[in-house]
């Protein structure tokens, strides 16, 4: 039981102490499962076997016959007392259970300067016999593999190959098929955009994959595609369906007859488990509030997955013919703490666009008594606020609720889970249309008597940091702001950014030399003089540094500001002491300014 339960309140320490539960894997016969808890692999028999600790490791995977359980530890595949591979990123069993297939990244050369942002560290596909024979590299030394699948007969491999290892090429990915006996490579899907995460049908005749559908436009539709083994016409099986596979839909379970496909997809403020009939294209929702991919038995009669809940982080459940039963109780102790509740709020922006978001109310909230509200703006902008328990390590939502502050997370235009048309509303509208979505959402909370208009805060990281900064450059409505890892000047950001340039071309309708006015219009470096909101600035030392100009401007004008740089950190904060500090500062900053 956690030490914080005795206090019966949510604190930063309580949030830091939450267990990390994930990667549930069902044995092929559906009679046992494995999962990872706090960096340890556990396994248990079904229906109600006691969990047994296997090892301090991750990524448990059952052999095809279900007799063996492998896992990943220190970059090696572990099976019993044997280890296989080096610098392994991911792995799978061969269909006959006699080998492992895995991806591993090349070691850096002794002299490893980065020239023109290029790197010689390619990730290759390897085959490793369990017999102990030497591993064989399947792909060539200049082939950078993101994902793969082995055919059911073990004779072929479908591989997703990125043009180069450079991060800027993450949307230049094509599918190929390799004959494992000869090494011959056949193109399967070679079109603009990213085509990856292949999965063979049980008869090996078709391959499912996640696709940008031949477009380099970041906001465009993404779908699950089918292509014949050996190449041929692509069929997109999720078109005209009610869900969105922009941010998921890239892990699949095939029915034994190859006529149905199951996967996770998003719709609004939740992610669900879906099945599509490949003959009729009819979609069926199998389960709601699913986090990540489900793991199915071979006959699809059973599955295990993480089930989300507003009251506590996701637990592993068993799904059987439409019925669900909890398996793990990693968060049982949280029943002694105040119950976290979320609700979906809907409104219309000034241009008539329908928008929604998630609202968490303080535990002591009384209808008719407006409370302070902090608006949390997600990243992306293609992130999405969900109704599930908010257990991130950036903003301590639950601790805000404990301290009488509501948290409002709008899914402004550009968010995922609402389809391509909604995402495209963000094109040439950064800091404009999405700003209006946020403002009108707050208007709705004020109208309903929930938000105290005199005690509002705003915070966000990455794109949410950009939008938080752009917001306080346009309004004095907020009493406090927290701006994390933002872009401020998009022209400068374009030069610094080592990710996909096509993302920024989508945002601004072209390249900087083509439409410089668009990049300038949506930047706010020239508007820093208009910021008068007390602001907390946070960023990793290795990230693109756009917070310093905000800091200097506020400091020069004697506006309260706190500028925090976390050493060794990049765009996300990963070291636990830094995560604790990050949350503590955000809680203190907002509490100090909104509860005066």
From residue 499, alpha-carbon distances to 26, 122, 286, 494, 571 in Å are 36, 17, 36, 9, 12
pLDDT of residue 4: 47
Residues 376 and 275 in one domain: no
The phi and psi torsions of 563 (rounded to 5 degrees) equal: -115, 115
Residues 274 and 390 in one domain: no
Residues 319 and 432 in one domain: no
Residues 330 and 444 in one domain: no
Report how many domains make up the chain.
2
Structure tokens at 434: 């999405």
CA-CA-CA-CA torsion sign (587, 590, 594, 596) = positive
Contact 90, 106 (CB under 8 A): no
> Residue 3, Cβ neighbours under 10 Å: how many?
10
Place of tokens 């014949």: 228
Domain boundaries, position 312: 255-337
Identify the CA nearest to 458 among candidates 347, 375, 351. Answer: 375
3-state secondary structure 239-268: CCCCCECCCCCCCCEECCCCCEEEEEEEEC
pLDDT per 10-residue tile (average), the chain, 596 residues: 62 94 97 97 92 97 98 96 95 98 89 74 96 93 96 98 94 97 96 97 98 94 97 94 91 96 96 96 95 96 95 95 94 92 96 97 95 97 95 93 97 96 95 97 98 98 97 98 96 91 93 96 95 98 93 97 97 96 98 92
The phi and psi torsions of 397 (rounded to 5 degrees) equal: -50, -50
Q: Which residues are CB-neighbours of 110 under 8 A, at least 6 positions away?
A: none
Residues 278 and 389 in one domain: no
R_g (Cα) of the chain, nearest Å: 25
pLDDT of residue 409: 98
Which residues on neighbouring strands pair with residue 171, listed in sequence order? none
Residues 462 and 567 in one domain: yes
Note the maximum CA span of the chain.
73
| Dist. CA 151–CA 92, nearest whole Å | 12
Residues 326 and 342 in one domain: no
Final residue belonging to a domain, choices 289, 311, 337: 337
Element (H, E) at 304: strand 302-309
Tell me the CATH number at 441. Answer: 3.40.50.1820
Torsion angle, alpha carbons of 402, 405, 411, 415, to 10 = -70
Final residue belonging to a domain, choices 289, 306, 337: 337
Torsion angle, alpha carbons of 262, 264, 266, 271, to 10 = 130
pLDDT of residue 112: 72
Element (H, E) at 375: strand 371-377
Residues 367 and 425 in one domain: yes
Final residue belonging to a domain, choices 337, 359, 377: 337
From residue 497, alpha-carbon distances to 194, 237, 483, 571 in Å are 19, 34, 19, 11
pLDDT of residue 5: 52
């Amino acid at each position: 039981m956690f030490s914080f339960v005795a206090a019966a309140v949510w604190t930063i320490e309580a949030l830091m102490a939450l267990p990390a539960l994930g990667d549930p894997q069902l044995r092929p016969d559906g009679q046992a499962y494995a999962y990872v808890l706090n960096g340890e692999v556990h396994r248990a028999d079904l229906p109600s076997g006691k969990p047994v600790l296997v090892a301090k490791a991750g990524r448990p995977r059952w052999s095809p016959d279900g007799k063996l359980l492998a896992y990943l530890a220190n970059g090696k595949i572990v099976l019993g007392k044997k280890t296989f591979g080096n610098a392994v990123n991911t792995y799978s069993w061969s269909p006959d259970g006699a080998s492992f297939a895995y991806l591993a990244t090349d070691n850096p050369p002794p002299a490893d300067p980065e020239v023109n942002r290029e790197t010689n560290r390619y990730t290759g596909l390897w085959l490793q016999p369990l017999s102990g024979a030497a591993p064989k590299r399947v792909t060539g030394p200049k082939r950078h593999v993101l994902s793969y699948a082995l055919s059911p007969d073990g004779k072929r491999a479908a591989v997703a190959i990125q043009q180069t290892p450079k991060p800027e090429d993450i949307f230049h990915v094509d599918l190929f098929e390799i004959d494992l006996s000869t090494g011959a490579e056949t193109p399967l899907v070679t079109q603009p955009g990213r085509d990856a995460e292949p999965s063979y049908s049980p008869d090996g005749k078709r391959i499912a994959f996640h696709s940008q559908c031949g477009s380099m436009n970041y906001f465009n539709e993404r779908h699950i595609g089918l292509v014949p083994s050996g190449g041929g016409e692509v069929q997109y099986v999720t078109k005209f369906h009610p869900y969105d596979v922009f941010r998921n839909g890239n892990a699949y379970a095939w029915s034994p007859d190859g006529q149905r496909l199951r996967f996770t997809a998003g719709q609004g403020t939740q992610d669900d488990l879906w099945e599509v009939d490949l003959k009729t294209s009819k979609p069926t929702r199998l389960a709601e509030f699913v986090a990540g991919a489900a793991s199915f038995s071979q006959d699809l009669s059973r599955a295990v997955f993480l089930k989300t809940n507003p009251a506590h982080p996701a637990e592993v459940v068993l799904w059987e013919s439409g019925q669900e039963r909890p398996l793990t109780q990693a968060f049982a102790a949280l029943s002694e703490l105040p119950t976290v509740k979320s609700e979906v709020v809907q409104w219309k922006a000034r241009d008539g666009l329908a928008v929604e978001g998630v609202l968490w109310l303080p535990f002591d909230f009384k209808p008719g008594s407006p409370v302070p509200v902090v608006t949390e703006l997600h990243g992306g902008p293609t992130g999405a606020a969900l109704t599930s328990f908010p257990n991130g390590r950036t903003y301590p939502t639950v601790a805000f609720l404990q301290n009488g502050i509501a948290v409002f997370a709008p899914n402004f235009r550009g968010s995922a889970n609402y389809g391509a048309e909604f995402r495209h509303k963000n094109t040439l509208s950064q800091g404009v249309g999405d700003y209006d979505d946020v403002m009108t959402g707050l208007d709705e909370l004020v109208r309903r008597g929930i938000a105290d208009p005199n005690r509002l805060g705003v915070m966000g990281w990455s794109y949410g940091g950009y939008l938080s900064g752009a917001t306080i450059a346009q309004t004095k409505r907020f009493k406090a702001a927290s701006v994390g890892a933002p872009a401020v000047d998009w022209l400068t950001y374009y030069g610094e950014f080592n990710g996909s340039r096509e993302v920024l071309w989508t945002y601004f309708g072209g390249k900087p030399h083509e439409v410089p006015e668009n990049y300038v219009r949506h930047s706010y470096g020239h508007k820093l003089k208009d910021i008068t909101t007390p602001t907390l600035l946070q960023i990793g030392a290795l990230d693109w540094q756009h917070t310093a100009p905000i800091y200097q401007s506020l400091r020069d004008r004697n506006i309260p500001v706190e500028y925090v740089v976390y050493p060794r950190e990049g765009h996300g904060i990963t070291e636990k002491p830094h995560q604790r500090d990050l949350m503590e500062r955000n809680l203190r900053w907002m509490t100090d300014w909104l509860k005066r």
